[in-house]
Amino acid sequence: MPAASPPLNLPRSAYVHVPFCRHRCGYCNFAVVAGRDDLADAYLTAVEREWQSLGQPRPVDTLYFGGGTPTQLALPQLQQLCQLARQWHPLAADGEWTVEANPDDVDAPLVELLAGVGVTRISLGSQSLNAAKLAALDRTHSPEAVRRAAELVQAAGLQLAADLIFAAPGETLAEWRADLAEMIALAPDHVSTYGLTIERGTRFFGQQQRGAVVEVDEQLQRDMYAAAIDELSAAGLEHYEISNFATPGRRSRHNEAYWAGAEYYAVGPGAARYVAGVRETNHRSTTTYLRRVLAGESPVELREQLDPESAARERLVFGLRRLQGVSRDWFHEQTGFQVDQLAGPAIAKYASLGLLADNGARVQLTREGLFVSDAIWPDLL
């Protein structure tokens, strides 16, 4: 019998979760493992097995190595992972391939390797260019390491993306403005900026319970976010999603696929995929993930078949995270649902409060809505 042809509209994005870190930061709630580089070879075997379950290579337009710290892998291991990714997810000629990197790991051999295999974009886990703030955030790299890494990435002709955290313990608005200015001076193509959140299960949460770490008050957090919008926009970075800014043509295409509600492949511990209307998440524990995959078992911990209405509501919320908002025609074409059929009263309510703008054709967050967007989403889901 001939092999069954693959379904139409296969995902065009793939995520690879690399769980290894040198050190677990105090605010980190991701699926990571620190000080276990001895597991790297088993990890490479496991992700190859996961990919083999696809049956055949699945071409993509965007590929993203996140973590953890992909650059914590030794160069030969990172090269092997890149080769496996290229084998199972051949990248389109104009594709985007992002690798997250710890500033301390970025040196000439690393950049040469990544550029050589076809990586187009390095995302630096910089978080700050202020030494005292980096220490407060429990980060081990220096501002100089960020600058050096940025220079190497740009010299190789790769796109530079960088992360910045605001509202670190004890941070003032003036210090945050200075941090923004330092980042802007590096001329990154893309900046993602987030307020520090202290989540249960992190080291900072325990310290907060004891009073050793105090969260920045809400008004100051709001002022810091406003400063980020104003300063980054003035520097020529377009504010295109709640937390993301890019120079023209340099948006994160991979994340844009998520926000558009597109499906995506994923491998690795804790990795989430969305394929054929089914959302799956692998087990977060690296050791459990490895044990399951190497024993020939499924690493999937959670599986959810989204019904059409739930999928449409999710797509509405993801779409509203983008500053361009959601076009009613696009939404109907993509989901089969009308925006107002799903969320008409909620949209009218938030428009009357000045948090959403609605011109009849498109719904989008207002500037005021950006500050409180997390309070809006539950009414739309």
Per-residue pLDDT of 106-145, as tens digits, reads 999 999 999 999 999 999 999 999 999 999 888 889 999 9
Task: Tell me, rounded to whole angstroms, the distance of Cα 9 from its chain centroid.
Answer: 23
Percent of the chain with pLDDT over 70: 91
Rounded average pLDDT over 322-351: 97
Last residue of a domain, one of 259, 288, 315: 259
Q: Is position 4 within any domain?
A: no
Q: Is position 312 within any domain?
A: no
User: What is the model's pLDDT at position 331?
Assistant: 97
Query: Are 254 and 333 members of one domain?
Result: no
Last residue of a domain, one of 212, 227, 259: 259
62 beta partners: 13, 96
Beta-sheet strands, E only, within 105-232: 121-127, 159-166, 190-195
Q: Looking up tokens 């790769």, which residue turns up?
A: 158
Query: Are 121 and 195 members of one domain?
Result: yes
Highest-confidence segment of 17-21, 31-35, 143-147, 199-203: 143-147
Query: Are 92 and 188 members of one domain?
Result: yes
Query: Are 255 and 329 members of one domain?
Result: no
Q: State pLDDT tens for residues 63-101.
A: 999 988 999 999 999 999 999 999 999 999 999 999 999
Q: What is the mean pLDDT of the chain?
A: 93
Predicted confidence band at 31 (pLDDT cuts at 50, 70, 90)?
low
Q: Is position 216 within any domain?
A: yes
Cα distances (Å, whole numbers) of residue 275 to 65, 180, 304, 312, 315? 18, 38, 11, 15, 15
pTM value is 0.93
Statement: residue 237 has pLDDT above 70: yes
Last residue of a domain, one of 211, 242, 259: 259
Query: Are 209 and 91 members of one domain?
Result: yes
Q: Is position 314 within any domain?
A: no
User: What is the model's pLDDT at position 208?
Assistant: 62
User: What is the model's pLDDT at position 3?
Assistant: 41
Q: Is position 22 within any domain?
A: yes
Rounded average pLDDT over 308-317: 96
Q: State pLDDT tens for residues 358-375.
A: 999 999 999 999 999 999
Statement: residue 32 has pLDDT above 80: no
Query: Are 195 and 97 members of one domain?
Result: yes
Q: Which has more pLDDT, 332 or 207?
A: 332
User: What is the model's pLDDT at position 2?
Assistant: 38
User: What is the model's pLDDT at position 4?
Assistant: 42
Rounded average pLDDT over 206-231: 82
Tell me whether the omega of the peptide bond preceding residue 336 falls within 30 degrees of 0, making it cis. no
Query: Are 333 and 250 members of one domain?
Result: no
- Domains of the chain: total: 2
User: What is the model's pLDDT at position 381?
Assistant: 87
Statement: residue 214 has pLDDT above 70: no
What CATH number should be reported for the domain holding residue 142? 3.80.30.20
User: What is the model's pLDDT at position 305?
Assistant: 96
Q: Looking up tokens 């793939």, which residue turns up?
A: 14
Statement: residue 296 has pLDDT above 90: yes
Predicted confidence band at 201 (pLDDT cuts at 50, 70, 90)?
low
Question: Which residues span the domain enclosing 122?
Answer: 13-259
Q: Which residues, 6 or more positions from 363, have their beta carbon under 8 angstroms from its beta carbon?
A: 320, 325, 326, 328, 339, 347, 351, 356, 357
Statement: residue 259 has pLDDT above 80: yes
DSSP state, residue 322:
B
Query: Are 375 and 238 members of one domain?
Result: no
Query: Are 45 and 161 members of one domain?
Result: yes
Q: Is position 300 within any domain?
A: no
- Angle (CA) 153-29-296 rounded to 5° is 90
Task: Report the C-alpha gap between 180 and 259 in whole angstroms.
Answer: 25
Query: Are 53 and 194 members of one domain?
Result: yes
Rounded average pLDDT over 296-309: 96
Query: Are 192 and 339 members of one domain?
Result: no
Q: Is position 8 within any domain?
A: no
DSSP state, residue 8:
S
Query: Are 108 and 185 members of one domain?
Result: yes
Predicted confidence band at 6 (pLDDT cuts at 50, 70, 90)?
very low
Q: Output the DSSP codes for 337-364.
A: S-HHHHHHHHHHHHHHTTSEEE-SSEEE
Predicted confidence band at 224 (pLDDT cuts at 50, 70, 90)?
very high
Q: Is position 1 within any domain?
A: no
Statement: residue 25 has pLDDT above 50: yes
- Angle (CA) 188-190-192 rounded to 5° is 120
Task: Tell me, rounded to whole angstroms, the distance of Cα 129 from its chain centroid.
Answer: 20
